Structure 1
Amino acid sequence: MTPPRLPSPLPKIARRLPPAERDRRSVAEFLRLEVTGGMLLLVAAALALFLANSPWSAGYESVRDHHLEIPFLGLDLSVGHWAADGLLAVFFFVAGTELKRELTVGELRRPAAAALPVMAAIGGMVTPALIYLAVALPSGGASDGWAVPMATDIAFALGVLAVVGRRLPSALRTFLLTLAIVDDLIAILVIAVFFTSELDVLALAGAAAGLLLFRLLHTRGVRGWYWYVPLALAVWTLTYHSGVHATVAGVALGMLLRATPRDDEESTPAEHIGHLVHPFSAGLAVPLFALFAAGVPVSAATLGEMAGEPEALGVVLGLFLGKLIGVFGATYLTARFTKARLNPQLGWPDVAGTALLAGIGFTVSLLIAELAFAGDPAMTEHVKAAVLLTSLLAATSAALMLTLRGRRLARSGDSTSP
């Protein structure tokens, strides 16, 4: 998830900063660009696929499966699980700050403005799940994967839009961002409710107490990372031990930050801290997760096996057709039968392009695939391969459609660049 890009302080103070500080700020600003996050994610996934299908695959798997233990915290996770449960919590923290801002001061606080993208998000999650079940169940496939095609990768989707969307209406980014925020919120709830193992009530109570203390310190104006970072790590650890997926802790912490501005502030804590953490999410956490999650063997034999598996086929059809039908259909029906109306800048081809972008599952879909098929490594790899191939197909189709749409708008003089 990508927070709104704030004005960079670099131009005003660059001459007064030492070279090392200027370089650090420049790198941070570069990592905040939506296209940068999408490209890093793509490069990491491509590298993972290369390594998993190369002579170095054994070494890659050895690193991914190597365990790193912290005995006094009771943690013993593989490198891949540290990336999925630990680093990805940073991504969800940034998502939490964005959710809080949108719910309090953004599009989601105004029902009239939020109605269409919210319904688009719901349609774009229910329809893929139903398509998956319709494909998998009659063929005797596992029903566990119904949630895999539900999720949209906002970092990747916004990255594609940033590349091809220079001639497209600015309202298109707002529509996609609102849709993806609701998508993330529902995906978080699905992970918390349906992919929770045996619940440790004591650990969960400890995590809740940590969140309460975090909020109390924040509302009382206590400052200093040395208070909040150790407390956040404690909340994450207790959440992990509770049986709830640990990334939920990141969302909860992000949503506890205040997003309502005060008179003496240039930016709220949610905006400021999300802005600070975003480079670590886009430049480190998400690419490393992709590096260890996307490394699946893809060969002619694998593709042949996938073609005969209802689970993989259900993911492909659900993620591509399900998102397209669900997002576009829900938007059209809501506009047709309610008072909600599409932004005047947007046309139905823009909505169709957005629906294709929503078919880029990637990060959260890969995470849910690991959770849904945890006891079946072969099926996990095949479903992951289905997610990767479908995401590539959706990204390519969306880029082609939106590029043609942008050229048409440019010729007619109707475009309003984001």
Structure 2
Amino acid sequence: MVDADQTFVIVGGGLAGAKAAETLRAEGFTGRVILICDERDHPYERPPLSKGFLLGKEERDSVFVHEPAWYARNDIELHLGQSVDHVDRTARTVRYGDDGTLVRYDKLLLCTGAEPRRLDIPGTGLAGVHHLRRLAHAERLKGVLASLGRDNGHLVIAGAGWIGLEVAAAAREYGAEVTVIEPEPTPLHGVLGPELGNVFAQLHSGRGVRFHFGRRLTEIIGQDGMVLAVRTDDGEEHPAHGVLAAIGAVPRVALAEAAGLEIADRAHGGGIVVDERLRTSDPDIYAAGDVAAFPLELFGTRIRVEHWANALNGGPAAARSMLGQDAVYDRVPYFFTDQYDLGMEYSGWAPPGSYDQVVIRGDMGKREFIAFWVGEGRVLAGMNVNVWNVTEHIQRLIRSRARVDTDALADPHVPLDRLVP
């Protein structure tokens, strides 16, 4: 039973933490809710940072999960710009802030998120080397892209993943020259494989982005403390007035690890191990969002998902579990992107080696199609490109685990709902 004298502490002020706090109140919890954020901004959503806000199409205030007054109105004790540096599981306390404030918890939720991987090469300390994870990063980068566009400047992006490609699209819309350095043979190679990675290579190449595949940055060259060029492992130099490191993110597990919580191995994402109810190895501590490595029973594995939908749905699921509800978290992984005139949604999980074929329904040339990753006759994942209102059908196909007729799957005249048992 949960009573009004209990204190629930949430560490991490991203989407997962903010939605967890919202859910606790919506579900009738009347105890203390303490939300501790290491950023000075109120909790916000991250997708606009590489999409609408970066492009100048969305206002700064639009990124926030709630208006600032919402927290006091709902009796959420919000501590901004405060870091938690210790969790004492025996005393059930967390320590935060410069003065080492201690607060006791009955239940603790860790939503510590992830942080950008850093380039380990000479020159990363030069002015003009950027990452994109926080609102402050996006604000700086927005100004950089506008300046590069005005001055015909060059942006070099290390990494052709989702962040790298979305920033490449934004930079081209500002008018900047863009070069992408990627060690794999196609963009998004580890997620989409070569079949669909080439769709994004062609999309960006057609907009003037230069790709160098099979290459890595080895040095950022500067002059007077500013970025001047980059060097790749083939010895080539490329002009650069700015560099974006978009080589992935790592879960922020130091706090959990120091507290003795179980951490997943790298093969399963390296996050905090949680069960199907998002409980960690300590029954009074939960984890959600980018940092949680949760069991995906549908595929018989454990994964960590760094996408908006996981934070949006994981935070509330963890809150309900903290309240003692039977809240099993078994969402099909989902993410989306917008690049130029291409909009895409992806559902499922199909890492390299897990599928036998990719089935295409629609016209890849026009970039209006659905791609299905199929293994042993079953749909493992689906990606709809400029085709809408099909996500529910795709996810039902994935959940059904039913064998499908691939000819019917490829035929746009066969409604998707007829393929779902």
Same fold (TM over 0.5): no
Report TM bin, short chain. under 0.3
Compare the two structures and name the one with the higher strand fraction: 2
TM-score, normalising length from structure 1?
A: 0.23
Greater relative contact order, per chain length (Cα 8 Å cut-off, separation 6+): 1
TM-score, normalising length from structure 2?
A: 0.23
Choose 1 or 2 for highest CA Rg.
2
Compare the two structures and name the one with the higher helix fraction: 1
